[in-house]
Amino acid sequence: MSPQITTAPDEGTLLRIQDVAADTGLTTRAIRYYEEIGLLEPAARSDGAYRLYDASDLERLRFIRSLRDDAGFSLAQIGQLLEDEAARERNRRRFRTSGDQTERRVLLADATARVDRQIATLEAKRARLDAMIADARGRRRHLDEHLANLDGGPDPHPGEGRHPAPEAG
């Protein structure tokens, strides 16, 4: 419990690209590439032009990775989802420096609209996935019925023909 420690400042920590890579599970090349195509700018640069990332950068990179790996979006789509980082940053600064309640409300409303669009996009994707799952469940039920037919009475409706083949694959 020493009153002043220089290790683990935590709050204003800036990481170099390799540490960021380790933390996020991305490669340094990928991170630079994301910067190249405008997905994020590092919070700062060192005197020697080293890229320096803060906590919010890490969050953003993890989000990008999640959208890429978990949701399967292309980087172009991810760019659409994140939409205009510059405006976002401007808004942040304006929000912090603004004493005007009305302006703060407008900025928050903007942020809300962006998040709502993200949610809508993600839910649309989930709906399509759900449809596919339902479809697969249907195929599964179909197979189960065939199994039931084999176990119970063999050949209930002989010349049926709704399905060309019993689908054994």
Q: Which residues bind DNA (CB under 7 A)?
A: 16-19, 27-30, 32-33, 37, 46-51, 68, 74-76
Rounded Cα gap, residues 21 and 150, in angstroms? 56
Least gap, CB of 150 to DNA (angstroms): 38
Cβ–Cβ < 8 Å for 91, 111: yes
Closer Cβ to DNA, 17 or 82, answer by number: 17
Query: From the CB of 80, what's the least distance to a copy of itself, in Å?
Result: 14
DSSP state of 158: T
HSE-CB at 127 with a 13 A cutoff on CA atoms is 6
The binder of 37, among a copy of itself, DNA, none, by C-beta within 5 to 8 A per type, is DNA
Pairing status of strand 44-45 against strand 15-16: unpaired
Q: Scanning the structure block, which residue is given the tokens 């009305």?
A: 102
Tokens of 166: 């019993």
Applying CB under 8 A, the residues found at the interface with a copy of itself are 11, 55-56, 66-67, 70-73, 88-89, 91-92, 94-96, 101, 104-105, 107-112, 114-116, 118-119, 122-123, 125-126, 128-133, 136-137, 139-140, 143-144, 146-147, 150-151, 154, 164-169
